Amino acid sequence: MNPQPWRARLGRLTLILMATVFCVFPIYFMLVQSLKTAQEDVFGNPLIVRNPTLENFEDLFERKGSARGFVGSVLRRSYPFLDWLGNTLVVFTGAVALTLTLSVAAAYGLGRLRPPGFRWWRRVIFAAYIIPQTILFVPLYQVVNALGLDDNLLALMLIYPSMALPFCIWMLSAYFQHLPREIEEAAFIEGAGRAGAFFRIILPMSRPVLVAAGIFTLGTIASDLTIASLFLLSGQNQTIPAGIGTMEVALDELAAVAGINLLAIPVIAISALFARGYVRGLTAAMLEGS
């Protein structure tokens, strides 16, 4: 292929630069705000930080109940951020683990064992996405109450998988369905049963698709604010999104931004670590499909 003319290359470069700025700028902006002192937040340049400080992050970890000073004549209260952090960790880990386990089992059943009408099973499950979430929380609240899970982290661990399961089951079952039969047969000849072939051969080779399902699940449940705010009412029981939603933004804007970053950093780190696997998994799932 001929080398591209310089004008085309310049155009491409500009587009790449624009796309990068479009994607990163809002995140950069939030990061910069969280590093600012209150003075600089009001009087400084909004786009840069001159005297970076971690005091907003430290603010979050102040002991419970202690007052953190005044703005005007209003007391700034402190928040149980450590509790929020622990709760978030528990809920996210639990929900992702549950989603992956259930979706791998269901997807293997549908894609590999292929009961009659397996494609329609898959489609009906996927169609769960058209159920309007709007006022679903009213009856959902009755379900949660009936289970005695009011204001309990377990409620979220049961509700969150329902948001990611349909996609994960669909993707994993498409992948399992397209694996050639010979892959398992080699193990059968060596005397392994279906379970043995699954754990020794299919599961290890599905790693990218499992990563894709896991990252999708994490991204989906980390985007929920509504359900967490509705079902976790007492301060100590909240997750970070629900907790930050209750903060007084007018008084604690900087601490809120710091809290946003504290949740984002681990989630982003995990996603970035597996980003390539995520793309590879999506590709693998759709490769022979359609």
Partner 1 sequence: MVRVTMTRTRRQRDIRIAYLLLAPAVLLLLGVLAYPLGWEVWTSFTSLSPLQDGATAFVGLENYRRQFHDPQFWSAAAVTLVYTVVTSVAKLALGLGFALLLARPFPGRTLVFLAIFLPWAYPASVSVIGWYWTLNPPIPTAYAAFMGSVKYNVDSVAGGGAWAFISVALFNIWRGSSFIGVLLLAGINAIPPELFEYALLESKSPWRRFRAVTLPLLAPFLALGVFLSLTGAFADLANVWTLTAGRIVFPVLSTQAYWLAIHGGQFGPASALSLMLVPLLLGALLVLFRLFDGPEREPS
Interface residues for partner 1 in 108-147 (CB under 8 A)? 108-110, 113-116, 118-119, 121-123, 125-136, 138-140, 142-143
Site string for partner 1, 165-184 (x = CB under 8 A): xxx-xx---x---x-xx---
How far apart, in Å, are the Cα atoms of 16 and each of 21, 275, 276? 9, 19, 19
Interface residues for partner 1 in 45-84 (CB under 8 A)? 45-46
Interface residues for partner 1 in 207-266 (CB under 8 A)? 215, 219, 222-226, 228-230, 240-241, 244-245, 249-250, 253, 256-257, 259-260, 263-264
Cβ atoms within 10 Å, residue 48: 10
Distance, in Å, from the CA atom of 113 to the CA atom of 102, rounded to the nearest integer, reads 16
Is residue 89 close enough to count as binding partner 1 by CB under 8 A? no
Is residue 279 close enough to count as binding partner 1 by CB under 8 A? yes
* Rama region for 132: left / alpha / beta (φ>0; ψ in -120 to 50; rest): beta
Is residue 201 close enough to count as binding partner 1 by CB under 8 A? no
CB of 202 to partner 1, least distance (A): 13
Is residue 96 close enough to count as binding partner 1 by CB under 8 A? no
Cβ atoms within 10 Å, residue 205: 12
First to last CA, the chain: 32
Is 95:168 a contact under the CB 8 Å cutoff? no
The most distant pair of C-alpha atoms in the chain lies apart, rounded to whole Å, by: 79
Q: Contacts with partner 1: how many residues (CB under 8 A)? A: 108
CB of 190 to partner 1, least distance (A): 18
Question: Among 2, 3, 6, 42, which residue sits at the site for partner 1 (rule: CB under 8 A)?
Answer: 42
Distance, in Å, from the CA atom of 178 to the CA atom of 151, rounded to the nearest integer, reads 43
Nearer to partner 1, 234 or 290 (CB): 290
Is residue 15 close enough to count as binding partner 1 by CB under 8 A? yes
